[in-house]
Amino acid sequence: MAKITIIGAGVMGSTITFPACDNGHDVHLIGTLYDREIIERLRKDNFHIALKKYLPDGISYYQTEDTEEILKGSDLIVAGISSFGVEWFLNDIIKLIPSGIPVLLVTKGLKSLGNGEVCSFVDYFTDACDKRIEFCAIGGPCISYELAARHNTFIGICGYNNETLQKIKSLLNTSYYHISTTTDVGGLELASAIKNIYALAVAMSTGVAEAAEGIGCRPHYNAQSGLFAQSIREMKIIIKSFGGSSDNLVYGVSDLYITVESGRNREVGVLLGRGHTIDEVLEKLKGMTLESTSAVKALSEAIYEKHKKGEFDLESVPLFMHVNELMSGKKTVDIPWDKFEGCYNYD
């Protein structure tokens, strides 16, 4: 039995308790400042008010002020935070983590380095940390409520030390939570992050159809599949340009499939497709964590820097460029279908 400590009691961090508990581990769940109400209810009867489900018996629950003491003796720490909690984790939590304990990030996103490069959060934490801590990350498709229902789920974890990856896999792999490992951090992390951007893009076709025919109209599958194909094409170009292996594109594509069908980034795309500006969309979805918006910002900064150096052709990613224009508030949706044709000349 291992001690697994999860920091962040949001839905995704909390669902890791299911495979962890099913494997017989000693599981501790620590809330952030934003999770106080969640933790208070969990302490009463194990019911998670955001996930709408009872967590397994035997979990110990703590508020954020208990973090330092609870981390001691952990065999694995899971950082159940969104990309918007990265700086908080870096500034307030890492200093509390004892050296030698691996940290598994559920965070999907990118950090712009401002020089035409982006880095994964694995690299960002590793470079910023002055302790001997190995950071790894989860990528690939996983809907929280399905994992909580113990439905078959296939994900990847990445890191630079295969021995550490195999240790994490041994702790969390179950008959329903299937884990593959890779040391291609850039490939897996890029694929996982940019799929949020392209899920938004594919979902725009639903909004466009609804603007023309009414909300709830029959989906336009031809348009959706065309955008899906263009998304895969551009994801491959971007991953290759930033040094990742296209082998791990599979995690991004499979995650793209899920996110197009459900989730917050889909809602953004649908609302944009109906003709709303990004400011109107953000107002309607106030309070939601929208990973796509931060990913577009980080990636666009890096792409423009590469373009200035002659290392990236903006015309190779017209769908991304259109989404970037939408995020800047300069335009409403006008999908550039005619520009997609030339993209197939790119290797």
Encode pLDDT of 82-136 as tens digits: 777 888 898 899 999 999 999 999 987 777 777 767 788 898 899 888 888 999 9
3-183 and 195-343 agree in CATH topology: no
Q: How confident is the model at residue 198 (pLDDT cuts 50, 70, 90)?
A: very high
Domain map (residue ranges) of the chain: 3-183, 195-343
Residue 340 in contact with residue 230, Cβ under 8 Å?
A: yes
Please tell me the total number of residues recorded for the chain in this structure: 347
Amino acid residing at 337:
W
Q: Calculate the average pLDDT of the chain.
A: 90
Is 60 exceeded by the pLDDT of residue 195?
yes
Task: Of 42-56, 124-138, 304-318, give the range with the top mean pLDDT.
Answer: 42-56
Q: What sign has the CA pseudo-torsion 267, 272, 273, 276?
A: positive
CB 12 within 8 A of CB 80: yes
Strands 177-182 and 153-158: parallel
Is the whole model's pTM more than 0.75, yes or no?
A: yes
HSE (CB half, 13 Å, CA atoms) of 337?
8
Cβ within 8 Å of residue 93, ≥6 positions away: 7, 67, 79
Query: So what's the architecture of 195-343 in CATH?
Result: Orthogonal Bundle (1.10)
To the nearest 10 degrees (0 to 180), the angle between helices 291-308 and 221-241 is: 50
Instruction: Please check the confidence at residue 236 and state whether its pLDDT lies above 80.
Output: yes
3-183 falls under which CATH superfamily?
Answer: NAD(P)-binding Rossmann-like Domain (3.40.50.720)
Q: Which residue has the tokens 């003709």?
A: 275
What share of the chain in percent tops pLDDT 90? 60
